């Protein structure tokens, strides 16, 4: 709800890369609603543009510099436009982005999105938030309304990775593995379902390494969490991505067999059938395993 002094503004958010970036973009849009921001599909109409970046692909960094440069005519027409670079490229490149592209007003890493409203208020100081502490990221307003929630909705349950595969930047851009508490996840799941979601896709960089704290003060596995979520009324389907072969436990495989709401879908990057290559990749498993 806007107060009398607030004018409705528009935000354009462009997401690159994984499903978690899509989830993060949705949460950013929701967090900006109390500030008077409404989403728009047109960059030209925006008062705030957020580029939620991905650093997995080769040349991702140069692509973002090019994308910011493309916004120059829009910024020239609207000097009050605020440009934000968010996500993993922001985390990896840091203030070098502002040095190379002075048009950028705000930098925010993937674990600091909850600070975005504060950063926007102080945009004239070129604020930067790149800490890797995930603990406050999910202390956000309630999830969306029936107008914004999709029938199949993403729900982040785990972030970061401790595997340090030789080819992967995730541990450096998303930080160490962090699992959200069970109660927090269940509350968000209920909000999504009450707003119209009928399928929940549980997200994590290494989602089957989930080990969140349950109400019984023990560490819950992903299988435990799936069974608990499956008890929620009106929910019809559950999926999860992305998994690591080392974390494919017996209880998770049993859930595939016995939990009616868990769909027979598994995204499991094996990466290679060669033990030599797997060792070079630091995958910590063999072809036989």
CB atoms within 10 A of CB 260: 9
**Parent domain of 193:** 147-258
Interval 214-225: pLDDT, tens: 989 999 999 999
- Rounded to the nearest integer, the mean pLDDT of the chain is 90
What's the pLDDT band for 144 if we cut at 50, 70, 90?
A: low
Q: What is the DSSP string of 148-195?
A: T--SEEEEE-EE--S---TT--HHHHT-S-EE--HHHHHHHHHHHHHT
What's the pLDDT band for 126 if we cut at 50, 70, 90?
A: confident
Interval 223-240: pLDDT, tens: 999 999 999 999 999 999
Q: Are residues 215 and 187 in the same domain?
A: yes
- Whether residue 129 is predicted with pLDDT greater than 70 in this model: the reply is yes
What's the pLDDT band for 146 if we cut at 50, 70, 90?
A: low
Total structural domains within the chain = 2
143 to 26, 33, 78, 193: CA distances (angstroms): 9, 11, 31, 10
- In terms of C-beta density within 10 A (0-12 exposed, 13-18 middle, 19 or more buried), how is residue 139 classed? exposed
CATH no. for residue 155?
Answer: 3.30.750.210
Q: Are residues 20 and 91 in the same domain?
A: yes
Query: What b/e readout covers 73-91, taking b as 16+ CB neighbours within 10 angstroms?
Result: ebbeeeeebbbbbbbbbbb
Q: What is this structure's pTM?
A: 0.85
Q: Are residues 36 and 89 in the same domain?
A: yes
- In terms of C-beta density within 10 A (0-12 exposed, 13-18 middle, 19 or more buried), how is residue 244 classed? buried
Q: Are residues 131 and 151 in the same domain?
A: no
Q: Are residues 162 and 243 in the same domain?
A: yes
Mean pLDDT of 184-188: 95
What's the pLDDT band for 140 if we cut at 50, 70, 90?
A: low
């Amino acid at each position: 709800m806007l107060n009398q002094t607030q004018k409705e503004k528009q935000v354009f958010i462009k997401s690159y890369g994984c499903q978690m970036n899509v989830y993060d973009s949705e949460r950013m849009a929701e967090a900006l609603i109390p500030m008077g921001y409404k989403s728009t599909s047109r960059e030209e109409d925006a008062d705030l543009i957020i580029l939620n970046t991905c650093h997995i692909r080769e040349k991702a960094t140069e692509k973002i510099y090019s994308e910011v440069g493309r916004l120059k005519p829009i910024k020239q027409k609207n000097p009050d436009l605020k440009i934000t670079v968010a996500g993993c490229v922001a985390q990896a490149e840091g203030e070098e982005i502002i040095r190379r592209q002075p048009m950028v007003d705000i930098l925010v890493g993937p674990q600091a999105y909850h600070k975005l409203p504060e950063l926007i208020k102080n945009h004239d100081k070129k604020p930067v938030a790149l800490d890797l502490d995930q603990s406050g990221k999910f202390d956000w307003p309630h999830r969306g309304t029936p107008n914004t929630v999709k029938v199949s909705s993403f729900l982040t349950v785990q972030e970061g990775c401790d595997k340090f595969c030789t080819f992967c930047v995730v541990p450096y851009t998303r930080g160490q593995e962090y699992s959200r508490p069970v109660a927090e996840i269940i509350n968000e799941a209920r909000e999504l379902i009450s707003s119209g979601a009928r399928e929940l896709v549980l997200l994590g960089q290494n989602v089957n390494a989930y080990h969140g704290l349950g109400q019984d003060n023990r560490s819950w596995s992903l299988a435990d969490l799936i069974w608990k979520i499956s008890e929620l009324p009106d929910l019809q389907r559950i999926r999860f991505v992305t998994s690591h072969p080392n974390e494919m436990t017996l209880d998770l495989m049993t859930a595939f067999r016995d939990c009616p709401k868990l769909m027979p879908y598994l995204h499991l990057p094996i990466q290679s059938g060669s033990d030599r290559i797997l060792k070079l990749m630091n995958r910590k498993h063999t072809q036989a395993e």
